[in-house]
Chain A
Amino acid sequence: MVDWLTMTIQMVSLAMAGWFLVSTLRDQPMVVPHLVGMGLLWLLVLGQVGVSVAAMVGGERPAETAMFVSYLATVALLPPACAVWGFMERSRWGPAVIAFACLILPVLLVRLEQLWNPVV
Chain B
Amino acid sequence: MSETSPPTARTLRTGPGRLLVAVYGVFALAATARGGYQLATRFDEAPLAYALSLLAGVIYLVAAFGLARAGRTSRTVAFVACGIEMAGVLAVGTTSVFLPEVFPDDTVWSNFGSGYLFIPLVLPALGLWWIRRVHRLDQAGEG
Contact = CB atoms under 8 A, between A and B. Distances in A.
Interface residues of A, number: 21
A89 B37 contact: no
B15 A91 contact: yes
B91 interface: no
A86 B37 contact: no
Interface in B17-57: 17-19, 21-23, 25-26, 29, 33, 37
Interface residues of B, number: 16
A16 interface: no
A82 interface: yes
B18 A96 contact: yes
B37 A70 contact: yes
B45 to A, nearest CB: 15
A94 B19 CA distance: 8
B18 A104 contact: no
Contacts of A70: 33, 37
A90 B26 CA distance: 22
B37 to A, nearest CB: 6
Given A70-B33, A74-B29, A91-B1, A100 B23 contact: yes
Given A66-B37, A67-B37, A70-B37, A93 B16 contact: yes
B29 A89 contact: no
Interface string B7-19: 0000000111111
Contact of A93 (B19, B25, B26, B37): B19
Contacts of A91: 1-2, 14-15, 18
Interface of A: 66-67, 70, 74, 78, 81-82, 85-86, 88-94, 96-97, 100-101, 104
